[in-house]
Amino acid sequence: MNRVLRVLILAAVVAVVLYPLMWMAGSSLKSPSEVSNNLSVLPREFTWNNYSQGWSSLDMPFGRYFLNSAVIAGATVFANCASCLLAAYAFARLRFKWRGFYFAVMIGTLLLPHHVLIIPQYLLFNAFGWINTPLPLVVPKLLATEAFFVFLMVQFMRSIPRDLDEAAKIDGASPYRIFQYVMLPLARPALVTTAIFSFIWTWNDFFTQLIYLNDLSHYTVPVALRLFVDSSGQSLVGPMFAMSVLSLLPVFLFFLAFQRLLVEGINTAGLKG
């Protein structure tokens, strides 16, 4: 009886969590009048042309915005994985002066609100002439500015036995070769975790991309979705929901492809160290 009750409670929680997503998918197949009048998930009459209309109703094909998002998200994933892995290796395995202090300062940046940095960063990037380009969204990631990912990888590397390092040193390996042949292959779960979160956060980012991208041809998917609502309040509700559904597919597929390694990386980094 208790098991049945737990299953029913979990099913109810899942239904509540998934209802907004299911309603959005159903609304992508409704007419504009039915969206406001029909609160059920399934439409009374399926309107498939919302997808074709949403893809081509803006000044540019919506595929252009998908391409922009894919380029920025892919570059961010590479930048975060490369820079954060190198920084984490230094904090976890190398010995240098004030290492603990620098690591504490890095962790302290997690407490700094992101919006506090927007104005000074904007002034700096504007002086570089980077506004309305992907550079402000990608270049800072090459400097290991994501402290969360550095901390995640440090915790993961601390779980790897140091005997492997010592054995490599006995064989004459330098710190660079230890990183390349020992730490890099073993850090795959942490790298995949970083890649997934970097991709999801970048793909769904709206505020930062809205600040730095001004030209229509440079817009990403989250910024382009707001174009379906014009300044007069008129909106293409059905096409907007249709493109919103399509925008979720890359995130879902990316997560589905690396789900096993994601769970492995989080469990290892969180329970060991």
Given a cut of 80, whether residue 50 has pLDDT beyond it is: yes
From residue 255, alpha-carbon distances to 67, 192, 199, 244 in Å are 19, 10, 9, 17
Q: What is the pLDDT of residues 202-238, one digit of tens each?
A: 999 999 999 999 988 899 999 998 888 765 555 678 8
* Tokens coding 71: 């380029």
In order, the DSSP letters of 224-239 are HHGGGB-TTS-B-HHH
| Separation CA 212–CA 126 (nearest Å) | 9
Query: By the 8 A CB rule, do 134 and 211 touch?
Result: no
**Among 247, 232, 243, 249, which Cα is nearest to 58's?**
243
Given a cut of 60, whether residue 156 has pLDDT beyond it is: yes
- What pLDDT is stored for residue 28 in this prediction? 85
Q: How confident is the model at residue 108 (pLDDT cuts 50, 70, 90)?
A: confident
User: What is the fold, at CATH topology level, of the domain defined by 59-271?
Assistant: MetI-like fold (1.10.3720)
Q: Where are the domains of the chain?
A: 1-47, 59-271
Residues of the chain with pLDDT > 70: what percent? 92
Query: What 3-state class would DSSP assign to 213?
Result: coil
Q: What is the pTM of this model?
A: 0.85
Q: Tell me, what amino acid is at 130?
A: W
